[in-house]
Amino acid sequence: MRPLAALAAVLIALSLPAFADDLLPQGPKAPPPDPLPEVSCDAAKADAGDWLVGRWVAPYSKWEFRRAAGGGLVWTLEQKPDINRMEGWQDGARFDGVVAAISACTVRLTAGDNGAIAFAFDGVRTDDGKIFGYAVNPAGQQLRWVLRRER
């Protein structure tokens, strides 16, 4: 009887890891879906971008979107040094750029000098108010962010 009970216990223990992924909560630092989430608005329709204005945060970064003197939107990204340095900014970085395109739920950001784009970001606002986005640096690396409003 004991060997049968031991065998049953081993089989139960081996089956638990298969269920663990379904039982464990998904952490707040889970990466955005790949590719970007489905657009929930008419992305071809122009938007003033009021939903974007303000401060947003992501791990190791702060973003600020504001109106420029001419009425367009500009932005600033302050990237702090990342402890695992996966994003390529070992000493941190600061980008200032313009909102190249915006709709009620999508945004395209660019930054660069003399017409050369050093940073390009495409993002989608989700129904829960976060922005999932990707940026590509000149080296071709794709970086991901999940932005939320600063508290």
Structural domain spans, the chain: 32-149
Q: What share of the chain is helix, strand, coil (3-state, %, to 5)?
A: 15, 40, 45
Distance in angstroms (rounded) separating the CA atoms of residues 123 and 129: 12
Tens of pLDDT, residues 29-46 = 555 456 677 788 888 888
Question: What is the Cα–Cα distance from 119 to 60, expressed in whole angstroms?
Answer: 17
CATH code for 32-149? 2.40.128
Give tens-digit pLDDT for 82-133.
Answer: 655 555 556 677 889 999 999 999 999 998 887 778 888 999 998 889 999 9
Whole-number pLDDT of residue 36: 76
| Selected residue with higher pLDDT from 34 and 151 | 151
For the entire predicted model, the pTM comes to 0.70
Distance CA 25, CA 70 (A): 46
DSSP-H helix ranges across 24-91:
none
- At residue 126, φ and ψ (nearest 5 deg) are -95, 170
- What pLDDT shows up at residue 45? 84
Q: What is the pLDDT of residue 31?
A: 55
